Every structure is written in structure tokens, then in C-alpha cells.
Chain A
Amino acid sequence: MSQSNPTVEPVEPALFKQETPWRQFVRTFLEDRVAVTGLMMLLLIIITAILAPWITPQNPYDLGTVDLMDSRIPPGEQTMEGYTAWLGTDGVGRDLYSAILYGLRISLMVGVVSGLIAASFGMCVGLIAAYAGGKVEAVIMRIVDLQLSLPTILVALILVAALGKGVDKIIFALVVVQWAYYARTVRGTALVERNKEYVEAAQSLGLSKTRVIFRHILPNCLAPVIVVLTVQTAHAISLEATLSFLGVGLPQTEPSLGVLIANGFQYMMSGRYWISVFPGLALLFTIVSINLVGDRIRDVLNPRLEK
């Protein structure tokens, strides 16, 4: 006769530690090594950009320190001004290392500022749409859909063509291109949240509509907004670089990475690759690290993908 009963070992339930949602989020986020690498890269980039004036040998916009004799020096060699151009110099004698760090500042600033403005505006629109309902919502969402169906680069190009060059105009164009995405995301989340019980509970306590929206619903909408913010910021930085490269973005007086790359384009064929490639790599690392972090945040916050 066969014995078919393996001994059953009871499994002790692990003690349930109380973890705040924030700590849980951070812990899960850190589980993916690639995302952590991205985060490290991003932090490094941001810190060097902020510290630029203190860690560069030259202020590339101070024309007094730029010597035409120093132009097109290959990476690693000494310049006339007396410092080593680790990444070489560009066509007018600017040290590339310095130019890149200063350029990063502008690129990051433009991307982040436009992202935050677009997010705020888009969130408000989305919340209004979700809460107003009816015709107001329908009209708003039609506008949002229309905006979203147009490719960002075209809208940005046309706007910049009409408005001209300049940091403020670029930021405006970037905001116009981004807000709709936030509006749609927030409206979707707000609609779902609106039907949840805690809203009813708050309302039954007699709280005003505005208070309910801003103090109760809004915090719950933030999670998807953060995901969108990271991805869109990367996109905004990329878009600004593209516009600047095409010559319709930022002016030469405020050179972002895109402007630097454009300046170096003409030297590519003659072998002086560094003038374009190094700013390009800086741009690349920035965008990739933001995307890695954003991707991971999205995976962590998405309950369906829990493996």
C-alpha cells in the first residue's frame, strides 16, 4: 500500500512590519539595479550642473575668457588660457567641459520649468473637467484630444516660428505641447477617485467641494502625474535640444546642449567629432537616466504589473 501523505510542515507567517507607503515605494524602486544606476547618473548630472560655476575652469559665456586661438583643440590638450581642455574646445575657443556643464543647466532648467508649469496647468484643467462633468468636461476633453493628436514637434516648430527665439518663448512652446497629457491623465484618475468611498465620506462630513478636490482627490492623483512628469521632462529636454539644433530654439547667447551640438555639426566631417559628440553624450545620459527612473517609478506604482 502506498503512503501518499507527505508530512505537512506549517509555515510561520512572517511578522507584518508596518511600512509607510513611501518607504515601501523606495524599497521596491531600489530593487531594480538598472533603475538605481539611472538614478545615480541623474543625481550626478544634476549636482554637476548646479555646481557648474565652481567646478569648471572657464565661464564659456564670459567672452573675456574665450580666446579664438584656443579653438578646435582636441580633448586632453592644454589651452592658451592655461588649463587643460579635457573634452576639447569648440569652434570659437570655448572649453567643452565648461560649455557642457553650463549647457546642462539651461537644458535642465528649461525642461523642468516647462514640465512643472505644464503639470500644474494640466492638473487644474483635468480636475476641473473631472469634477464639472457634462458639457464643460466634453468640451475640455475635445480640446485635449485635439492637442494630443498633433505631433509635439510640429506644434513646437510652428509656435517657435511665430514667436521667435528666446528662453521664455521656448518654455511657452514646451508648455503648450505638454499640458494636455497631464490634463488627460489627471482627469482619468480624478474620475476614478471621485467614485471612491472616501470622497463620499468627506462630502458627507460637509466639506466644501474645493476642499474635497484639493485636499483629498489631488494627493491620490499625484502618483500617475509623477510618472508622466519624468517621462515628459525627458521629452521636453529632447524637444528643446532638437529645436535648438535646427536653429529655431534657444539663441546662441543661451546655449543649451542642443545649440552646442548644432555648432559642432559642421566639424563632423573633418574629424573634429568631439565638438558635437560630447555634448551629445551629455544630452543622452540625461535623457536616458530620466527615462530609466521614470520607467521604474511607473512599474512600481502600477499594481497590475506586480510579478
Chain B
Amino acid sequence: MLSFFIRRFAQAALVIAVMVVLVFFGVNVVGDPIWMLISPEMDQEAIEKTAAALGLDKPIIEQFFHFVKGLFQGDLGRSFVHGEPAIQLILSRMGATMELAVVALLMAIVFGLPLGMYAGLYPDRRSSRMIMSGSILGFSLPTFWVGLMLIMLFAVMLGWLPASGRGETVSIFGFETSLLTLNGWQHIALPAFNLALLKISLMIRLARAGTREAMLMDYVKFARAKGLKESTIIRVHVLKNIMIPIVTVLGLEFGSLVAFSVVTETIFSWPGMGKLLLEAIQRLDRPVIVAYVMVVVVLFVVINLIVDLLYSVLDPRVRITGAKA
């Protein structure tokens, strides 16, 4: 078990290393590297002075080491727009994004799992077909458009929920969270649902496919032969089996949630990393862009690791043999 963990950890470190190399050479080969470190408004003389001061006339390998050194020290340059160190800026907004993503994930499970299982258990019913058509709609609709529609319906026309911003936050264990106030929930409802819609559709399809497959398995027949109630069979036998692929997919999709938050945060003015990234792109605030990419890469690698570990916990076959079943 420990060797499994160490192996995965080493793989993760390798991926991060590769990404560091890619990001550095990507930024420096695609564009003029000086643009990464200076504001676009400086004049030619100032540019040359900064270039010399920052060692950009040195060979690229030396620059690379400089970059990596900066990484380990947590220094990725300063944002032009905000003046703060880029990495700090990103991290300060990460909490808001994580909150949004987690609530969206929970929504995906709470809405998607029961609907999907229902559609899987009674595939020929009209309601099931409607659920499946709905799921196609769910992942066809572009996230930004759904956001617009949600605002139009709930905020403008009905006036039930606010269209932008984050609600009141409460500090708990050093983390800020808006989930402990009613106001907070009012503000997070629309953006989280917007973000979750794609995942709900995915969840419905996964749960349906998994349930259908599981119901055909021999162990369900055997459970019936033992005289178990149908509801018990579904709850104990089927659910545990479909959770394995669902958890793995959802875990990996969490990264996609963080990515899509760029869109949702922009529409709903949610103060997270995504909105920051978009502003940075629009205003050519390159240190922030680089910092965002690095943070996200690390996040993804960590998520992958957690999902792998979770998988081994859920599937006893993996746990004991150490191989993927």
C-alpha cells in the first residue's frame, strides 16, 4: 500500500516537472520573453534596462534555472495590474473558486445520481426518456449561455436570487466561507448550478449506464434468490458497484469544474481565480497568467493522486492486489 502511494507520488512530481519545463519554454519561445516581466506601457529604454537587470540577455538555460528558483521560493513575478505578487493574488482568490466548485460537485451528486439511477432502473418509462433527453440538453448547452438564461429568469424576471457577487463570508479555521449564511447560499445558488449543469448531465448518464449494467449482473440475481427486497438490493449491491466509476470520473471532472469556473465567475462576477485569469488575459498581465497555470497544474496533479487513492479505497480488488481490477 505504501509502495503504491510512493510510486504515484513520484509520478505526480514528474508530471509537475514536465509542466514547469513546458510552461517556461512555451512562454519564452512563443512570445518575446521580456513581455512576461514588464508592463506593456514602458518605453524602449526602460525595457532594455529591465531586460538587463532581469538577466534576460543571459542564455536561456540560465533563465530557466532562475525561473525554477523563483518557483521554489514562491516568486512568480508581480501582477502589473494589482501590484501584488502574482502567486499571492491567485491563492487569495482560490478559496472562492474552490467553494464554488465543491458546491457544484455536490449538486451534481445530489441531482444527478438519483435521476440517473432512476433512469437506469426503469429505462423504458416515459419519465426516464425525458431525463435522458434532458441530459443531452444539459451538456449541449454552453455554460455561458445557461448562465445568461439563469440570470434572466431568476434575477431579472423573477427577482428571486442575486445575479452577481459572493455572499457574506464567515471565517472558520482560517478559511473564509460563504456557506454558513443564508445570504451566502443565495449568492452561490445560481453560479454553482450553472457550473454544475454539465456535471449533472454527465452524472445522469454515468449513473444510468452503471445501474443498467449492474442490474444485469449475476450477483443481483443471486441477491434476489436470497429473498432480499429490491430496494435493499439497489441500495447495498448496485450502489456500491456504481460508485467506483462514478467517483473516479467525478474526481477527474473536478479539475474541469475549476477550469469552467472561468466562465461562470465572469458572468456572475464571482471573485475567484477564474475571473482573475480572464482579466489577466484581457489586460496582458502575464505574471498572473503564468502563476495561474502553475497553481492549476499542481491542483490537477493533486486531484489525480487523491482520486487514485480513493479508487483503491472503494474497490477492494485493487487494495489487496495493488493492481487495477
Contacts and interface: CB of A to CB of B under 8 A. Distances in A.
Touch test A–B (CB under 8 Å) = yes
Interface of A: 34, 146, 149-154, 157-158, 160-163, 234, 238, 241-242, 245-248, 261, 265, 268-269, 271, 273, 276-277, 280, 283-284, 287-288, 291-292, 295
B295 to A, nearest CB: 12
Given A149-B300, A153-B260, A284-B141, 11 more contacts: A151-B255, A151-B256, A151-B260, A157-B281, A158-B289, A162-B27, A242-B144, A246-B278, A276-B148, A283-B142, A287-B140
B252 A162 contact: no
Contact of B259 (A34, A151, A271): A151
Given A149-B252, A162-B30, A246-B144, A291 B139 contact: yes
Q: For chain A, what secondary structure do more than half of its interface residues adopt (helix, strand, loop), or is it mixed?
A: helix
Contacts of B300: 149-150
Interface string B141-179: 111110011011000100000000000000000000000
B152 A273 contact: yes
The 4 closest A-B pairs by CB, nearest first: A151-B259, A161-B281, A154-B259, A151-B256
B59 interface: no
A157 B277 contact: yes
Contact of A246 (B133, B136, B151, B266): B266
Contact of B145 (A34, A284, A295): A284
Contact of B282 (A163, A247, A261): A247
Interface in B246-279: 252, 255-256, 258-260, 262-263, 266, 277-278
B186 interface: no
A162 B26 CA distance: 9
Interface in B84-143: 133, 136-137, 139-143
Contact of B140 (A153, A160, A284): A284
A47 B255 CA distance: 38
B136 A295 contact: yes
B140 A291 contact: yes
B31 interface: yes
Size category, B interface: 35 or more
Contacts of A246: 144, 262-263, 266, 278
B148 A158 contact: no
Contact of B15 (A146, A248, A268, A295): A146
Contacts of B143: 242
17 contacts: A149-B255, A153-B259, A157-B278, A157-B281, A160-B281, A234-B140, A238-B140, A238-B142, A241-B144, A245-B263, A246-B263, A246-B278, A247-B282, A248-B282, A261-B144, A277-B152, A287-B142
B197 to A, nearest CB: 13
A34 B258 CA distance: 33
A151 B133 CA distance: 25
A161 B136 CA distance: 31
Nearest to B23: A158
B296 interface: yes
Contacts of A151: 255-256, 258-260
B142 A241 contact: yes
A261 B148 contact: yes
A276 B252 CA distance: 33
A268 B278 CA distance: 21
Contacts of B183: none
A90 B75 CA distance: 46
A154 B263 CA distance: 10
Contacts of B259: 151-154
Contacts of B304: 149
A154 B296 contact: yes
Given A157-B262, A246-B262, A247-B282, A261 B145 contact: yes
B256 A288 contact: no
Contact of B152 (A146, A234, A268): A268
B15 A280 contact: no
A303 B214 CA distance: 19
Nearest to B143: A242
B281 A153 contact: no
B293 interface: yes
Contacts of B145: 241, 261, 280, 283-284
A153 to B, nearest CB: 5
Given A163-B30, A284-B145, A158 B293 contact: yes
Contacts of B15: 146
A155 to B, nearest CB: 9
Contacts of A273: 152
Contacts of A150: 300
B289 A280 contact: no
Contacts of A283: 142, 145
A161 B139 contact: no
A55 B266 CA distance: 36
Interface in B287-307: 289, 293, 296, 300, 304
A265 B266 CA distance: 12
Contact of B142 (A157, A242, A247): A242
B144 A291 contact: no
A239 B143 CA distance: 10
B213 to A, nearest CB: 10
Given A151-B255, A157-B262, A162-B26, A248 B281 contact: yes
A153 B289 CA distance: 14
B131 to A, nearest CB: 13
Contacts of B255: 149, 151
The residue in A245, A283, A287, A291 that gathers the most chain B C-beta atoms within 10 A of its C-beta is A245
